[in-house]
Amino acid sequence: MSNLIPGDEDFARLRELRAQHPERIATLLAERRRREVLRGDGRLFIVAADHPARGALAVGKNPTAMSDRYDLLERMAIALSRPGVDGVLGTPDIIDDLAGLGLLDDKIVVGSMNRGGLRGASFEMDDRYTGYDVPTMAASGIDFAKTLIRVNLEDAGTAATLQATADAVSQAASARLPIMLEPFMSRWVDGRIVNDLSTDAVILSIAIAAGLGASSAYTWMKLPVVEDMERVLAATTMPTLLLGGDAGVDPDETFSAWEDALSLPGVRGLTVGRTLLYPPDGNVAAAVDIAAGLVHTAP
């Protein structure tokens, strides 16, 4: 099956594949039709679904929105079937499901690496690399790597994450594997981690992340859309994808902010997850089409 929305029979075959022929999953991933990372207009629109592995199942006011894997895969299939969607970002379980369903032909596959900083955990800042690693991605045909870097100056757990990320960047450069870094300045507030989305904090996070690793040649940035994005983008020469953010904000305001930021120098596209997979009106295709249009028509 390719570029179709999966049904009960497709999911039954996926379960059978996982139980009886798990070796086929690697083969399906390796043998899919691949594409260049950048082609045509040189811009990327990536749909993200790596949230569940970090214990982040909520969307808006629904605390368990992403808990139904079949519903999530249906939404992912709808998104991947839409024109202008270049690829998908996920942890191995998500990517293996999509490969088993035959949904990855001609799509960029981005592997999510560190998901160990579980939401709400006392060890959340010690964001271990519990997902993909660079050797596996290079060997299996994954096209891109992704990391999350939350820098908390008052939490020693940050140090291990910075070191692990530096190692991942070095390994990715050696393997000639593009790697996107998603940095934040973060702090504990009332027992939970809050990211500082002020312009100066985002700029500081870029400065810290950009220096990680033995080479920055293959490093990309994945940055939130905040106030004064001109100043934010002036902080780096690295190709940048915009972070879509959480659902719950007015969609028109969100799309308008994306449109403005996509026109700035250095911005190569958009990486969005819950905002488009779980839109307020439930119409995944319409939300994805609007975002794809913004990415691929931006100057």
Residue 90 has pLDDT above 80, yes or no: yes
pLDDT of residue 1: 43
Query: Sorting pLDDT into bands at 50, 70 and 90, what band is 249?
Result: low
Helix axis angle, 92-100 relative to 23-31, nearest 10°?
80
Domain that holds residue 277: 31-297
- Counting the structural domains of the chain, the total is 1
pLDDT of residue 255: 86
Query: Sorting pLDDT into bands at 50, 70 and 90, what band is 254?
Result: confident
Residue 4 lies in a domain: no
pLDDT of residue 2: 42
Q: Taking all residues of the chain, what is their mean pLDDT, rounded to a whole number?
A: 94
pLDDT of residue 4: 76
Query: Sorting pLDDT into bands at 50, 70 and 90, what band is 299?
Result: low
Percent of the chain with pLDDT over 90: 88
pLDDT of residue 164: 97
- Provide mean pLDDT across the span 210-234: 97
pLDDT of residue 252: 77
At 14, the amino acid letter reads L
- Cα separation values, 186 from 29, 127, 232, Å: 35, 13, 17
pLDDT, greater one: 94 or 60:
94
Residue 108 has pLDDT above 60, yes or no: yes
Residue 99 lies in a domain: yes
Residue 9 lies in a domain: no
CATH number of the domain within which 83 lies: 3.20.20.70
- Nearest to 50, CA basis, from 103, 94, 81: 94
Residue 247 has pLDDT above 60, yes or no: no
Instruction: Give me the sign of the Cα torsion angle 178, 55, 287, 226.
Output: negative
Residue 129 lies in a domain: yes
Strand partners, 183: 149
Residue 21 lies in a domain: no
pLDDT of residue 131: 96
Residue 259 lies in a domain: yes
Residue 217 lies in a domain: yes
Residue 251 has pLDDT above 90, yes or no: no
Q: What is the pLDDT of residues 135-152, one digit of tens each?
A: 999 999 999 999 999 999
Residue 268 lies in a domain: yes
